[in-house]
Amino acid sequence: MIHITSSFVSLLAFVSIAAAQSAVWGQCGGIGWTGPTTCVAGSTCVESNAYYSQCLPSTSTSSGTGSTGTSTAALPTSTSTAKSNTVAQAAGKKYFGSATDNPEFTDAAYLAILSDNTYFGQITPGNSMKWDATEPEQGTFTFSGGDAVVSLAQGNSQLVRGHNCVWYNQLPSWVTSGSWTNATLTAAVQNHCSTLVSHYKGDIYSWDIINEPFNDDGTWRSDVFYNTMGTYFVDVALIAARAADPNAKLYINDYNIEGTGAKATAMMNLVSNLKSRGIPIDGIGLQGHFIVGEVPTTIQTVMEQFVALGVEVAITELDIRMTLPETDALLEQQKTDYQNVITACNAVAGCVGVTIWDYTDKYSWVPSTFSGQGAACPWDANLIKKPAYDGIIAGFSA
């Protein structure tokens, strides 16, 4: 920590005496930029996008391990010129996509990349379609946040994944603290899913109708829905959603089902059970919140097993986090990990697409959720593509 602090301070001092030129890693151009457009010796101004050019080291001067924590070590970046959604579609997938969130839309540089449909053919609202955002009081619906995401996607000719209808988390207190009977909660779930999915009828490629229903050991999660209704809440939500938008693909979405094990088996049993009773189910979302070096090796097998049950699959929330600081070796392993996940989807015809859980480390949920971890996304916090991006391209090109 002391290293990081002192080099940060000396970098600030350096910037202040050399204001006519941008420092290494500093901005040197882009729409609206009024600062210096030349870089200090040893670095070159490189355009990242129309809104952001950055001084990058002219030659690779990586410290190798990066373990000293210096802020000026040149970490490796992407070299691919191919576009992620273009290669995904060329491989026969419906999309390569990204999650996003409404507050990020004020960031012009971020929005420019998100809106480039050669990079992203699909977007998922991270928060603005969740229950607390859409029905904060019982029977009072607010769709403005979700509407903004849909409107952005339509302007960009991008698909939308709706996220989500029934989840134990981010619930308004009237749901979590209500005194429910099976009958009254059934009516509330029915009304919520029906109203939400109807509002977006025709706008949504696929909906995560049920999110995270299982514990890691494959038992049902104890929450207000399961505790009050038993597994009947799954039927109620799926049936209401099908009636509300017959053309939307209805998904159940969960994590730790990407490799073989008790939780994946529980999800397969649920799919079989729903199918046998004629309850609508079209897809399973494998979230894909992974750790560098720990991506399950059985992803393709699991996908094939789901597809054999008569559903499609998608990677819906991919990110691959590491313990900070980033190093050359970690970024290289992360590239391999991204490539392996994409390769698995690419090898399974029933895997329709991959969504990353926001494309840039600037807006990743990881650092605030997992202390000391981060750098999980394919674009860094300065919106520069990392080696992980080349892994994505390679996976779709295999």
Q: How far is the CB of 227 from ligand NAG (least distance, A)?
A: 8
User: Between 387-397 and 328-347, two packed helices, what is the crossing angle to 10 degrees?
Assistant: 20
Q: Would you say the C-alpha torsion 132, 252, 396, 60 has a positive or negative sign?
A: positive
Q: How far is the CB of 224 from ligand NAG (least distance, A)?
A: 12
Q: How far apart are CA 396 and CA 95, in angstroms?
A: 11
Q: Does 330 bind ligand NAG (CB under 6 A)?
A: no
Q: How far apart are CA 54 and CA 370, in angstroms?
A: 29
CB neighbours of residue 157 within 10 Å: 9
Q: How far is the CB of 228 from ligand NAG (least distance, A)?
A: 7
* CB closer to ligand NAG, 226 vs 357: 226
Q: What b/e readout covers 349-369, taking b as 16+ CB neighbours within 10 angstroms?
A: ebbbbbbbbbbbbbbbbbbee
Between the alpha carbon of residue 97 and those of residues 93, 202, 259, 369, the distances in Å are 11, 19, 22, 22
Of residues 171-190, which lie at the interface with ligand NAG (CB under 6 A)? 182
* CB closer to ligand NAG, 248 vs 274: 274
Q: Considering 135, 212, 312, 317, which one is annotated as catalytic?
A: 317
Q: How far apart are CA 328 and CA 65, in angstroms?
A: 6
* CB closer to ligand NAG, 14 vs 220: 220
Of residues 208-247, which lie at the interface with ligand NAG (CB under 6 A)? 229-230, 232
Q: How far is the CB of 187 from ligand NAG (least distance, A)?
A: 11
Between the alpha carbon of residue 166 and those of residues 97, 129, 231, 347, the distances in Å are 22, 11, 12, 31
Q: How far apart are CA 189 and CA 234, in angstroms?
A: 10
Q: How far is the CB of 78 from ligand NAG (least distance, A)?
A: 51
Q: Total number of residues binding ligand NAG (CB under 6 A)?
A: 4
* CB closer to ligand NAG, 194 vs 327: 194
* CB closer to ligand NAG, 19 vs 187: 187
**In the annotation, is 47 catalytic?**
no
Which residues are the active-site residues? Answer: 317
**Which residues would be at the binding site for ligand NAG (CB under 6 A)?**
182, 229-230, 232
